[in-house]
Amino acid sequence: QVQLVESGGGLVQPGGSLRLSCVASGFTLDYYAVGWFRQTPGNEREGVACIGGSDGNAYYKDSVKGRFSLTRDKAKNAVYLRIDSLKLEDTAVYYCATVWGLCSPDTYVEVSEYDHSWGQGTQVTVSS
């Protein structure tokens, strides 16, 4: 069964860091681009980053560049999103999603791009 499970969210103070995990089961994550999205109540899901399958190239939305970073762990069939210098506006539910192959530089932030699988999300709350 194809499944993605996110974890690592929580309550963090501004300026802190978190590492979110996206662990796949039922398929080999290395062959897929993994996108990360976030969503707040009443708003659309926002794409923020993507890491490619075979090439490992990563793309970040301008608003998160320098604070978000993606890595892969082949042994654990996982992708990690590290968020540094957390801001209040980073508060959201974070989702990972997959599509075969590479990230498209033009469309990696679009929900419709990811047609393979989605996780259930993990809550990140930034608050003092």
Chain segment 36-78, per-residue pLDDT in tens:
999 999 999 999 999 999 888 999 999 999 999 999 999 999 9
Contact 48, 103 (CB under 8 A): no
- What is the structure's pLDDT at 56? 84
Instruction: Report strand pairing: 32-39 vs 18-25.
Output: unpaired
- What is the structure's pLDDT at 55? 83
- What is the structure's pLDDT at 33? 97
For residues 3 and 14, what is the distance between their CA atoms, to the nearest angstrom? 32
pLDDT tens, position by position, 25-35: 999 999 999 99
- What is the structure's pLDDT at 79? 98
For residue 98, the surrounding DSSP H or E stretch is strand 92-100
pLDDT tens, position by position, 75-95: 999 999 999 999 999 999 999
For residues 34 and 85, what is the distance between their CA atoms, to the nearest angstrom? 23
- What is the structure's pLDDT at 80? 98
Dig out the tokens for 124 from the structure: 């990140």
For residues 103 and 52, what is the distance between their CA atoms, to the nearest angstrom? 5
**Over residues 106-111, mean pLDDT:** 93
Longest CA span, the chain: 40
For residues 17 and 45, what is the distance between their CA atoms, to the nearest angstrom? 22
For residues 74 and 51, what is the distance between their CA atoms, to the nearest angstrom? 13
| Predicted confidence (pLDDT) at residue 102 exceeds the cutoff of 90 | yes
